């Protein structure tokens, strides 16, 4: 004889949610009825402030997409890309291995220059203007390199208070996807990418500015949003965001203390890089230490040590020429400068 299975009652989830909405509405009505006149006034005032912030954020999202499309599609033929290539052997954006410093170079050399602004002062004098250019740089570069924007029916018509989206061609970038090394070999690069940025797996779709920007950083720099907060990554991002927001000069107050901390921080970060066998961070830092605008000041600084009681007896440096390593060694600043100029 078999036992009868216990009866189960199916829960109507939709009905429960609807009942909860009605309950919340009644409770909220009661909450408002108990407010004083002053509290009610302040609540309405705050609601308007939040609505204004929401409106501004929607406008910013829309504006960022307009900036990307205007500069990378409509005005691409007048972009002064030659400024980006100055001092290099590169002739195309596809030749670069992009990182944050190269993104900043593009923003300054190409975009800031295009609008007739001063790259040396814009972060200080017009931080929000610069932020708009800096924030849209990765997406502009991605479009210039791979033509991912579908110009026909380019923008969506959002319903309600939602920002518009841009028509994006995913098929144009699958070949450039590089999945992280720690991802299982059973997962293809395309499937990994779609799991992050295109969950429906559509060949084309409407995407937000944030998604466009995240895709651009992933394709160009192999950077993706961290699944969890990695402490060092979180702090490094905070520093970079602070500097890129326009705080790119030493403060007048507590400058000596700031310089001391900066020296310790740079040493510690390079030490972390070497300990992890990431020597390219060290070499990139040394090789790109100065540019045409600061090299003269750097030479003067090195020269100044010769007049001090404790002199630098030997200068040592290394320069990479393709796959060859050139070792530089000099016992005077003049010899060091001559060798640097010769490479």
pLDDT per residue of the chain (343 residues) written in tens, 0 to 9: 555 656 656 667 778 778 787 887 787 788 778 878 887 888 778 778 777 777 788 888 889 999 999 999 999 889 999 999 988 889 999 999 888 888 989 998 899 889 888 877 887 788 888 888 899 999 999 999 999 999 989 999 888 888 999 999 999 999 999 888 888 889 999 999 999 999 999 999 999 999 999 999 999 988 765 455 577 887 888 888 788 777 778 888 888 888 888 888 887 888 778 777 777 777 677 666 666 667 777 777 777 766 554 445 555 555 555 555 565 666 666 676 676 666 5
Going by C-alpha positions, the residue among 199, 217, 219, 202 that lies closest to residue 167 is: 202
Residue 18's pLDDT is: 81
β-bridge pairing 324-330 and 315-321: antiparallel
Which pLDDT score is estimated for 92? Answer: 94
Give the integer Cα–Cα distance in Å for 303 and 297.
Answer: 10
Q: How far apart are CA 121 and CA 130, in angstroms?
A: 10
Whether 262 contacts 256, CB under 8 Å: no
How many Å apart are CA 329 and CA 58, to the nearest integer? 56
Question: In this structure, what DSSP letter does residue 292 have?
Answer: T
Contact (CB, 8 A) for 95 and 74: no
Question: Quick one: pLDDT at residue 188?
Answer: 92
Q: Structural domain boundaries of the chain?
A: 61-221, 290-343
- Residue partners of 240: CB distance under 8 A and separation at least 6: 100
pLDDT for position 23: 80
Tally the C-alpha atoms within 13 A of residue 86's C-alpha that lie toward its C-beta: 12
Supply the pLDDT for residue 310: 47
The alpha helices in the chain, defined as continuous H runs, are 13-33, 37-69, 81-85, 100-106, 113-114, 122-125, 127-146, 189-197, 209-221, 231-244, 255-275, 279-287, 295-304, 333-342
């Amino acid at each position: 004889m078999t036992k009868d299975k216990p009866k189960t009652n199916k829960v109507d989830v939709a009905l429960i949610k609807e009942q909860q909405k009605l309950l919340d509405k009644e409770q909220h009505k009661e909450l408002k009825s108990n407010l004083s006149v002053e509290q009610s006034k302040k609540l309405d005032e705050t609601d308007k402030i939040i609505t204004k912030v929401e409106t501004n954020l929607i406008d910013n999202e829309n504006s960022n997409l307009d900036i990307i499309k205007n500069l990378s599609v409509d005005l691409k033929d007048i972009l002064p890309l030659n400024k980006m290539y100055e001092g290099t052997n590169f002739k195309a954006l596809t030749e670069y291995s992009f990182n944050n410093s190269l993104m900043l170079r593009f923003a300054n050399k190409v975009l800031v220059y295009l609008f007739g602004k001063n790259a040396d002062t814009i972060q200080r004098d017009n931080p929000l203007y610069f932020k708009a250019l800096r924030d849209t740089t990765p997406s502009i570069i991605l479009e210039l390199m791979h033509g991912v924007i579908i110009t026909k029916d380019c923008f969506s018509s959002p319903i309600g208070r939602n920002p518009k989206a841009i028509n994006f061609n995913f098929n144009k970038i699958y070949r450039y996807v590089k999945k992280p090394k720690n991802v299982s070999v059973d997962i293809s690069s395309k499937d990994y990418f779609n799991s992050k940025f295109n969950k429906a797996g559509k060949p084309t779709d409407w995407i937000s500015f944030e998604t466009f920007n995240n895709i651009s950083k992933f394709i160009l720099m192999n950077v993706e949003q961290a699944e969890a907060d990695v402490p060092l990554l979180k702090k490094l991002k905070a520093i970079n965001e602070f500097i890129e927001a326009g705080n790119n000069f030493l403060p007048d107050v507590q400058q000596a203390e700031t310089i001391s901390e900066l020296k310790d921080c740079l040493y510690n970060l390079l030490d972390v890089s070497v300990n992890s066998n990431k020597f390219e961070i060290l070499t990139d830092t040394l090789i790109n230490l100065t540019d045409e605008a600061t090299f003269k000041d750097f030479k003067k600084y090195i020269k100044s040590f010769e007049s001090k009681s404790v002199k630098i007896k030997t200068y040592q440096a290394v320069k990479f020429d393709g796959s060859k390593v050139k070792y530089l060694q000099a016992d005077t600043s003049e010899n060091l400068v001559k060798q640097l100029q010769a490479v």
